[in-house]
Amino acid sequence: MLFVIMCDALNQLVVFPFLPFMIRDQLELAPDDPKLGSLAGFAAAAYNAGQFLGAPLYGTAADRLGRKPVLLVCLMLSGLCILGFAMSSSYAISLGMRSAQGFFSGAVIVGKIVLFDVTTPATEAQVFGMIGLSFAFGYMLGPTIGGVLAQPSAQYPALFGGVALLEAHPYLLPCAATFAFSMVGLAGSLLLLPETHPRLGKGAAPSNARPLLGLDRRTPSRDSQVAGVAAELATYVETLPVWLATPVSGGGLGLSSSSIGVLTAVGGFSLLLTSVSTGFLLGRFGGAYVLHLGYALNALNSAGPPLIALLLGWWAAAPPLLPVAILVVCCCMNMASKSFAFTAVTMLSKGCVPPAVQGLALGVNQSCSSTGLALGPLACGVAYSATVGLVGPQWGAAVFFLALTLVGLGANMLAIGIDSNT
Q: How many CA atoms lie within 13 A of 36 on its CB side?
A: 29
Give dist(CA 214, CA 234) in Å, integer: 32
Number of helical (H) and strand (E) elements in the chain, helices listed first: 19, 0
In-domain check, residue 218: no
Kindly report the CATH number assigned to the domain that includes residue 381. 1.20.1250.20
- Does residue 412 contact residue 296 with C-beta atoms inside 8 Å? yes
In-domain check, residue 418: no
Q: Three-state DSSP class for 194?
A: coil
Number of structural domains in the chain: 1
In-domain check, residue 213: no
In-domain check, residue 63: yes
- Please list, residue by residue across 167-181, b when 16 or more beta carbons sit within 10 angstroms of its beta carbon and e when fewer do: eebbbbbbbbbbbeb
Spatial CB neighbours of 388, under 8 Å, sequence gap ≥ 6: 34, 37, 251, 396, 397, 400
Max Cα separation, the chain?
A: 67
In-domain check, residue 233: yes
In-domain check, residue 336: yes
pLDDT tens track, the chain, 422 positions: 788 888 888 888 899 889 989 999 999 888 778 788 788 878 877 888 888 888 778 878 888 888 899 999 999 999 999 999 999 989 999 999 999 999 998 888 888 888 878 877 777 777 777 777 787 788 778 888 998 999 999 999 999 988 999 999 999 999 999 999 999 999 999 998 888 876 555 444 444 444 333 444 444 444 444 445 444 544 556 677 777 777 777 767 777 777 777 777 777 677 777 777 887 888 788 877 887 888 788 778 777 777 777 776 655 555 567 777 888 888 788 778 877 877 777 777 666 666 666 666 666 666 666 666 666 666 777 777 788 788 877 677 778 878 877 776 776 676 665 555 54
Spatial CB neighbours of 321, under 8 Å, sequence gap ≥ 6: none
Give dist(CA 209, CA 145) in Å, integer: 40
In-domain check, residue 201: yes
| CA nearest neighbour of 16 among 299, 276, 268, 229 | 268
pTM for the full model? 0.69
pLDDT attached to residue 205:
42
- Does residue 325 contact residue 31 with C-beta atoms inside 8 Å? no
Task: Enter the DSSP assignment of 210.
Answer: P
Note down the domain range covering 385: 2-205+223-412
Q: What is the pLDDT of residues 275-311, one digit of tens each?
A: 778 878 887 888 778 878 887 887 787 777 777 777 7
Q: What is the pLDDT of residues 64-80, one digit of tens each?
A: 888 899 999 999 999 99
pLDDT attached to residue 16:
84
In-domain check, residue 210: no
Task: Enter the DSSP assignment of 119.
Answer: -
Q: What is the pLDDT of residues 369-394, one digit of tens each?
A: 666 666 666 677 777 778 878 887 76
